[in-house]
A = this chain, B = another copy of it.
Amino acid sequence: MIRIAVDGMGGDYAPQVVVEGAVYAANDFPDLEIVLVGQPDALKRELNRHKVLGGKIVLQEASEVITMADSPVASLKKKKNSSIGVSIDLLKNKEADAVVTAGNTGAAVAASALTLGNLPGIKRPGIAISIPTPRGISITMDVGANLNPSAEELLQYAIMAEIYASTIFKKKRPSIGLLNIGEEESKGTVVLKEAYKLLRDSDLNFVGNIEGRDFFTGKVDCIICDGFVGNVVLKMCESVLENSIEIITREFKKNPITLLGAWLCKPAMDSIRKETNYEEAGGAPLLGVNGTVIISHGISSAKAIRNAIRVAGSIVERHVNQNIVDRVESHPNGSSTRRPEGNQT
């Protein structure tokens, strides 16, 4: 049985929504065991509101809470018994197979890096988010763990994103694009030009540079970028369709004819909302750390938490991390910035 530690105190609506999501997951996925981590009284109070039909939920005490406003590293040092820290410890000690948290992202990344370390051969972990596009799910990595990646780190993000896309989203030979300010190889910063060469010379399905306009079209399966621009873009994506629908709705209400039209269109609008709903993806794995950690949005709903738990289970079940290690070890073309060793003799 796969055990998922869920940070019960992390998130804007924790513990209420997180516990609700954990209950949904326990009922829907009886093969998973959920370890709810946090203040027992608060968690029990929420658990008592729900009926756990199948599956299994156990509690693990963690007396402290790292808030969204806390400084990540400082708060981890100060609050030794935080729900995120204890969750990661469970993973480290093999008392859990994966962690799901909707809490302070910086603290989750820092706790993972400090406690778990990186997978063998991986230089820096990154967050891989899945974004719905007209051509299906597209992965963007990194979206906030590494603001200044090196060229080789970007190459490793491409390798990890490719494995995530093929293993979890069943993409065949996923296409990889490097986010840049123009399609030509000569565009962008020194790091991006170097990353372009590494990707071109790798055995990945690299299609070249892509631009901001390609985010919503699903032009490539995996978009590789630094964590700063990835984070900005992710937050734009989250807000954009909702804003478009808001503008459209306001315009529709300006006269009775278009208002009637809008009423007739409502089912179509609802369908779009559902199709592009970020709840479906639920969470984003921090790939490259030595363990499975899923970071969910702070405003996650119960449904989003449930889906993040589902994704965590799939990543464990399908051995995504072992695939990454094998790939980095065995495919020199996919990870080598090393000079051929013969040159040194």
Counting CB contacts under 8 A, is A244 at the interface? yes
Q: Judge whether B212 and A234 touch: CB under 8 Å.
A: yes
Interface of chain A residues 255 through 277 with chain B (CB within 8 A): 257-258, 260-265, 267-269, 271-272, 276
Distance to closest chain B CB from A177 (angstroms): 12
Whether A247 contacts B272 by the Cβ 8 Å rule is yes
Contact of A232 among B211, B251, B265 (CB under 8 A): B211
In the bound assembly, the distance between CA atoms of A188 and B226 in angstroms comes to 12
The answer, among B148, B246, B272, for a CB contact under 8 Å with A251, is B272
Q: Which residue in chain B gives the minimum CB-CB distance to A147? A: B189
**A212-250 near B? 1/0 per residue, CB < 8 Å:** 111111000000000111011111111111011111101
Number of interface residues of A (CB under 8 A): 57
Contact A235 B254 (CB under 8 A): no
User: Is A268 within 8 A of B240, CB to CB?
Assistant: no
Contacts A189-B148, A229-B232, A261-B261; A239 near B213 (Cβ below 8 A): yes
18 A-B pairs with C-beta separation under 8 A? A69-B184, A134-B250, A147-B188, A211-B232, A212-B232, A212-B233, A212-B236, A217-B243, A233-B233, A233-B236, A248-B248, A248-B268, A251-B272, A252-B265, A258-B265, A258-B267, A258-B268, A261-B261
